[in-house]
Structure 1
Amino acid sequence: MAMKALDIYKHLPKTNCKKCGYPTCLAFAMKLAVGKADIEACPDIDPGAKALLGGVTRPPVRAVTIGAGERSVTVGEEFVMFRHEKTFYHPPGIMVEVSDTWPDDEVRSVVAEVREAVVERVGQDLVLNGVAVRNESGDADRFAETVYLAGGGTGLPLVLISDDLPGFEAALAVAGQYRPLIHAATADNWEPLAALAKQYGSPLVVRAGTLADLAALAGNCAGAGVADLLLDPAQGSLQGYIATATAIRRSAIERTEPALGYPIYLDAGTFKDTDAAVAAGILKYAGVIVTPRLSRASREAALTLRQNTYTDPQHPIQVAPGVYPVNDPGREAPVLLTVNFSLTYFTILGYLEASRMPCHLLIVDTEGLSVLTSVAGGKLTETIVADALKKFGVADLVDHRLLIIPGYAAPLTGKIEDATGWRVMVGPRDAADLPEYLEKEWKT
């Protein structure tokens, strides 16, 4: 189990020398406790304490980086079983599969889709992460050619999937310098694959059907000098995958089996329902998900689910407070108040833009909470509204003193009017009703 900061502090030199980069040994211990510092940063620690703390202060799931450059993806480095306990940090990389038996144009088409497809949601660009190249031809040269067609790892992270050692050697000669993920080492071939992974500095997937075999195989490869590993539990059903992935994560978090402290690999294409498999991987601990080409609807659903799952529940996605002009408003345009919860902002913005109604959208800081939650929790008050109107100079933008507030903020009407001197109009509760409301009710 992970140690608490004060327990870690007892094993530190307590000299407050600052050599570790932190002002005190206690501050260093606090960072160690949450896996945000490395015990190696302390030059004066006793070797015995160093060995003890090294095993309990590192992240229980090792961080592994696949690829190189801007589109590289880091997975793992997780600390909890459930998102609500703290948060999940590194979303799984979603890799779209191509085969070396496909025509070149089809391979290029998938690669272009992965590279260019973007889902814009609540101010973030959601993208697929890479390409998985499968050696189905049995021809090492053709495998290498397809890896080259996929960019060779220069633009997108790659997964190299093969049962053939010469195929791996040919593909790594093309893409090895860009840290592709190698799939997969088994009980029969782990030694030569571990040697290749070590030679190129590439992460390696180990594949076995039981936890004991996975742990043994991971231990062998780590002992051979491969630091970056992923675990493929090779399950034939989604139920089996979920059960095994949960057991792997629990073993890692509780540190009962250090050899299972690596991210998990899932091949969604091996299941009958690919979309369900992708969703299961996102929700249940996959670090890399390899999937056949997804429809647009399936891609958007997967990327949205991943964004939701890996958003910190204690720090919702927020937009900066301020006044946002919509549809080129003038001095007679209405002023609409709302909160800085991103989903609320972008939902309202979409309806307002579609209505073509010019308006000023005043965003106040409620720490990313929704309107209803902000009102109930005291994060949206008349003082906050008054301060925002003054801070952002709203009175200088319009000739009227009318403020439209969300329907769920109706209980604040009188208080806002007293605090601001503005007359308050209560808008609808549902953003979808805003265009009709403005058309019927807005008069300066």
Structure 2
Amino acid sequence: MAMKALEIYKLLPKTNCKKCGYPTCLAFAMKLAAGKADVELCPDLDPETKTLLGGATRPPIRLVKVGVGERSVTVGEEFVLFRHEKTFYHPPGIMVHISDTWPEEQVRTVAEDVRDSVVHRVGTDLMLDGIAIRNESGSPTQFAETVALVEACGDLPEVLIAADPAAHEAALAECGNFLPLIHAATDRNWRECAALAKRYGCPLAVRAGDVKTLTSLVRNCVGAGVPDLMLDIAPGSLREFIAAATRIRKAAIERTDPDLGYPIVFDTVPLGITDAALAAGVLKYAGIIVTEPLSPASMEAALTLRQNIYTDPQKPIQMTPGIYPVNEPGRDAPVLLSVNFSLTYFTLLGYLEASRIPCHLFVVDTEGLSVLTAVAGGKLTESLVAASIKQFSLNEKVDHRQLIIPGYAAPLSGKIEDETGWKVLVGPRDAAELAGYLEKEWRT
């Protein structure tokens, strides 16, 4: 079980020597309890205490990296079972399946689609993560040739799926230096797969249909010198995956079974379902999800869901405060006050761009809260508006002194006028009504 900071502190030297890099032993204990420091930083602990603290303070799920460079995928190091308890940190990598029996043109097309597809949402570019190449031909040579073809299409993280260690060895000769995930070590081939993972420094998935065999494989592979592991629970159905993944995550978080403290791989292809399996993988603790090639609608849905689940619920997505020109506004264009909640900004922007009416979108810092919440919580105030006008030199952007505020901010209209000296116009509550409002009401 995890230890609390005071429990850890009792085992430390209490000398406040600062050798660990922290000002006091208590500060070091708090970092250890949060899984944010390594017990090895304290040079004065005896080996027995280090072993005890190491097992109780390391992140409950090991951090594992697949691939290299900007598109690499890092998963694991999660601390909670439910997102609302704190947050989830490392989104699952979505890897698109390619078979080594496919024609070269099909392989190239899928790989290029994964490389180039982007979904733009609330100011963020969302992308698929990589390619999972499956050895369905049974030929190590053909498997290696397909891997080489994928490699030629771009710098994408890869999952190598094969039962035969000889196929893995041939493929790793093409891409081993780029740290693909080797999938998978079983009770029949774990020695050979572990040896390859150790030689190339690659992460290794272990696969078994029951927890007892899975934990045995973990111990064997760790003992063989492979620390970066992932778990494939070989589910026969979506229901089995959800049940097993939840059990593993719970055991890892509660530290009741350290051998299960690794990210999960979910290969959805054998199940023959795509969208539901993708959603389950995102929601129920998968670190790597292998999926069939996705339609644009399915890709957008999966990436949007992943973004939502892996956004810190305590920290709304925010825009940078400032003045944003829309449709090339001049000095007589209207100024629309808004907040820096990203969804509000992009909703407004969509309607304003569609209206083709030139305007200035004046975004103030409400700490990511929506208009209604910011007004109710005292984050959107006349003082903030006045300070923001001065900070961003709004007086120099336009010749008039008229400010359109959102309908939900109507109670502040008089106060904003008194504080800023600007004439305040109350706009509609619904952004969809903005175009009609501006055409009817705006006069300089």
**TM-score, with length taken from structure 1:** 0.97
Runs of 4 or more consecutive aligned structure 1 residues displaced over 3 Å after TM superposition: none
The answer to whether residue 188 in structure 2 is matched with residue 188 in structure 1 is yes
The amino acid that maps onto 2:146 is T
In structure 2, the partner of 1:315 is 315
In 2, are the aligned partners of 1:152 and 1:174 still within 8 Å (CA)?
no
Q: In structure 1, give the amino acid aligned to 2:276.
A: A
- Does residue 395 of the first structure (1) align with residue 395 of the second (2)? yes
Q: How does 1:172-321 map to 2 (within 5 A)?
A: 172-321=172-321
Structure 1 distance, partners of 2:280, 2:430, is: 32
- Deviation readout 1:360-412 (Å, 9 max, x if unpaired): 11111111111111112111111111111121111221122211111221222
Give ranges in structure 1 of 5+ residues lacking alignment: none
* Residues in 2 aligned to 1:270 and 1:382: alpha-carbon distance in whole angstroms: 59
Partner of 2:160: 160
Shift of 1:13: 2.1
Match of 1:408 in 2: 408
Mapped partners of 1:397, 1:151: distance in 2: 50
Secondary structure at the counterpart of residue 137 of structure 1: coil
Return the alpha-carbon distance in structure 1 between the equivalents of residues 353 and 362 of structure 2: 15
**Bigger mean CA deviation after superposition, 313-322 or 427-436:** 427-436
Listed as ranges, the matches of 1:375-386 within 5 Å are: 375-386=375-386
Residue 57 in 1 paired to residue 62 in 2? no
Q: Distance in 2 between matches of 1:420 and 1:256?
A: 60
Paired letter, 2:184: A
Partner of 1:76: 76
Which residue number corresponds to residue 46 of structure 1?
A: 46
Q: CA deviation at 1:91?
A: 0.2
Alignment match, 1:5: 5
Code of the aligned partner of 2:44? D
Q: What is the alpha-carbon distance in structure 2 between the residues aligned to residue 49 and residue 322 of structure 1? A: 53
Structure 1 partner of 2:351: 351
Partners in 1 of 2:6 and 2:378 — Cα distance?
35
Q: What's the CA shift for 1:21?
A: 2.2
- My pick for the range that moved more, 154-163 or 144-153, is 144-153
What is the CA–CA distance in structure 1 between the aligned matches of 2:345 and 2:286, rounded to whole Å? 31
Per-residue deviation, 1:434: 1.5
Question: Is 1:143–1:171's contact at 8 Å kept on the other side of the alignment?
Answer: yes
Question: Any unmatched runs of 5+ in structure 2?
Answer: none
Distance 1:153 1:248, change over 3 A: farther
Asked if residue 330 in structure 1 is aligned to residue 315 in structure 2, the reply is no
Alpha-carbon distance in 2 for matches of 1:442, 1:2? 61
Give CA-to-partner distance per residue, 1:36-70, whole Å, 9 cap, x none.
11111222223222111101111101000001122
- Is residue 153–residue 175 contact of structure 1 (8 Å, CA) maintained in 2? no
2: distance between equivalents of 1:146 and 1:8? Answer: 51
Q: What secondary structure is seen at the aligned counterpart in 2 of 1:10?
A: helix
Q: CA deviation at 1:316?
A: 1.4
Q: Could you report, residue by residue, the CA deviation over 1:254-278 in whole angstroms, capped at 9, with x for unpaired residues?
A: 0000000000111122234310100
Q: Which moved more, 1:383-392 or 1:98-107?
A: 383-392
Matches within 5 A, 1:129-144: 129-144=129-144
Cα separation, partners in 2 of 1:154 and 1:119, compared to 1, 3 Å: closer
State the distance in 2 between where 1:177 and 1:152 align.
Answer: 15
How many residues are matched?
A: 444
Summarize the Cα distance change of 1:221–1:309 in structure 2 as closer, same or farther, 3 Å threshold.
Answer: same
Equivalent residues of 2:185, 2:194 under 8 A apart: yes
Q: Which amino acid aligns with 2:163?
A: D
Question: Shift of residue 152 of structure 1?
Answer: 6.9
Looking at structure 2, the residues matched to 381 and 272 of structure 1 have their Cα atoms a distance apart, in angstroms, of 54
- Structure 1 residue 27: deviation in Å? 2.2
Q: Deviations over 1:89-129 (max 9, x none)?
A: 00000000111101111111111111111111111111111
Counterpart AA for 2:9: Y
Distance 1:152 1:248 in 2: 37
Identity %: 70
User: Could you tell me which residue of structure 2 aligns to residue 363 of structure 1?
Assistant: 363
Aligned counterparts of 2:332 and 2:48: Cα–Cα separation in 1: 73
Deviation at 1:26, TM superposition (A): 2.2
Q: Matched residues in 1 for 2:348 and 2:70: separation? A: 32
- The reply to whether residue 151 of structure 1 matches residue 151 of structure 2 is yes
SS of corresponding position for 1:424: strand
Task: Write the letter of the residue equivalent to 2:25.
Answer: C
- Answer whether contact 1:114 1:129 (CA < 8 A) is retained: yes
Q: Matched residues in 2 for 1:141 and 1:272: separation?
A: 27
Q: Distance in 2 between matches of 1:190 and 1:434?
A: 63
CA distance in 2, matches of 1:421, 1:51: 66
Query: Is the contact between residue 339 and residue 363 of structure 2 (CA under 8 Å) also seen in structure 1?
Result: yes
Measure, in 2, the Cα distance between the counterparts of 1:240 and 1:141.
35
CA contact (8 A) 1:153 1:180 kept: no
* C-alpha displacement of 1:153: 9.7
CA contact (8 A) 1:162 1:168 kept: yes
SS at the partner of 1:304? helix
2: CA distance, partners of 1:235 / 1:228: 22
Deviation at 1:141, TM superposition (A): 0.4
Q: Note if contact 1:67-1:153 (Cα within 8 Å) is conserved in structure 2.
A: no
* Alpha-carbon displacement from aligned partner over 1:223-268 (angstroms, at most 9, x marks no partner): 2111011111111111111111111000000000000000011112
Question: Is the contact made by 2:62 and 2:76 (CA closer than 8 Å) also made in structure 1?
Answer: yes
Alpha-carbon distance between aligned partners in 1 of 2:152 and 2:226, rounded to the nearest angstrom: 22
3-state SS of paired residue (2:184) = strand
Q: CA deviation at 1:18?
A: 2.4
CA contact (8 A) 1:154 1:178 kept: no
Deviation at 1:318, TM superposition (A): 1.0
